[in-house]
Amino acid sequence: MPDPVTIDDLNLLMEFGTLHGKIENFVCQTSYSGSQQIKIYSDDTYKNNAVNTALRIRVREIFSYAMSSWNPQIHDDFRERIENFYLTTIYLFFVGTIQLKARYFQITQSDTYKFLYRSSSDLIYEGPLSPDQYLEFTENDILQDHIDCYRDNQLFNSIEIKTVSIDFDIRQYYKDLFSS
């Protein structure tokens, strides 16, 4: 029986390329900033990984569409295309508690921000927010709107969101959106 994999073994392998996935009791992934990460796997830490949240479905459908539409070996701007597509595609959430990462609004520095629904100017949140934080609020109605983010009373960024019922087929919605 072979010896268990060690961190030193993984570090040696990383000299030849980037690792992704689970290797014995380690999870290898790439951070948002592009650095390689190795984490110790535990059932408790990754217990919800298999749950298909609205945001996970969105990302999977975006990348599925991007990979079928563009080729990284042909299109020099492949990364920019995916990034732009990711930033401009509507976010779907199930009604109830909504968590928005600050990075959805391109927030890269801690500051005071104000978030409003564009159509009604209803205040969602106002206060300090840093790039690693979440904006959390409850929306019990089905709606489609933009959430505008302000800093120093200037529009900083805006994202389009849609809240849907729990039995709404998000995957099919994105497939239909991307095929039109």
Query: What was the pLDDT predicted at 180?
Result: 78
User: Does pTM top 0.85 for this prediction?
Assistant: no
39 vs 61: CA distance, rounded Å: 26
Q: Which pLDDT score, from 0 to 100, does residue 141 have?
A: 92
| Three-class secondary structure assignment of 117-147 | ECCCCCEEEEEEECCCCEEEEEECCCCEEEE
Strands (E) in the chain, as ranges, are 21-23, 26-30, 36-40, 91-94, 96-101, 111-117, 123-129, 134-139, 144-151, 154-164
Which pLDDT score is estimated for 127?
94
Which residues, at least 6 apart from 7, have a Cβ–Cβ distance to it below 8 Å? 26, 38
Residue-level pLDDT at 119: 92
pLDDT digit string (tens) for the chain, length 180 residues: 577 877 777 777 777 777 777 777 777 787 767 777 877 777 776 666 667 788 889 998 998 898 888 888 888 898 898 888 888 999 999 999 999 999 899 999 999 999 999 999 999 999 999 999 988 889 999 999 999 999 999 999 999 999 999 999 999 999 999 987
pLDDT at res. 74: 86
Domains and CATH numbers, the chain: 1-49 (no CATH), 54-179 (2.60.40.10)
